[in-house]
Amino acid sequence: MKWFLNELTKKKQIAFNENLDLREELVKRSAEILDCLPIEVSGEIAYDDELFYLDYQIKTTLTLPSSRSLKPVKYPIDILVNEIFATEETLKGNQELLDNDLIIVLDKDIISLDESVTDNILLEIPLQILAENEEAEELPSGKFWSVLSEEDYAKQQEDKKEEKKSPFDGLNGLFD
């Protein structure tokens, strides 16, 4: 779904409720996404004071590989998106607006809902996702190696600091 800027300046506000199929685009842009259900998008786009306000909600479910076992994991997404767009001409005379707000500068006379939805879904992909029961499972290990949790690593580093004390530490306070 796309809107031309001159259409938006005339209508001032347009509400929408769409089901988008962006699976192909998402899979192409991120190797982490295995699958994506149709995306429910509802909201509105408005024009006021030479700015275009795009406010909508995204609901979908992504299939991502587990960070530990690479098993497919269903990851539901339900986010609110608020974006502000402006043309280059609008921002030329208003540097303060650009400094104070996160404004997306339009290089074309079109605002694309598909692009915005795709970008915002890609930003929501977590760095770590685990399949059911993987958090409770023991971390993988081998003969001379093992995977440590962050807490175990911090404890190990603390223990190393304590071990590195000088052999002469026992003499401290001897002549006090």
Distances (CA, A) of 131 to 63, 84, 142: 11, 36, 22
What tokens were used for 116?
């915005």
Q: What is the DSSP letter of 146?
A: B
The torsion angle over the Cα atoms of residues 93, 98, 99 and 103, rounded to 10 degrees, is: 170
The pLDDT, as a whole number, for residue 99 is 64
pLDDT at 105: 76
Token digits for 86? 């402006």
Q: What is the pLDDT of residue 59?
A: 92
The reported pLDDT for the residue numbered 33 is 86
Q: What is the pTM of this model?
A: 0.71
> How far is 148 from 146, CA to CA, in rounded Å?
6
**What pLDDT is stored for residue 40 in this prediction?**
92
Mean pLDDT score of the chain, rounded to an integer? 80
Q: Please give the pLDDT value at position 135.
A: 64
Pick from 97, 30, 16: nearest CA to 105? 97
Low-confidence ranges of the chain (pLDDT < 50): none
Q: How far apart are CA 107 and CA 136, in angstroms?
A: 49
In the three-class reduction of DSSP (H, G, I as helix; E, B as strand; rest coil), residue 79 is classed as strand
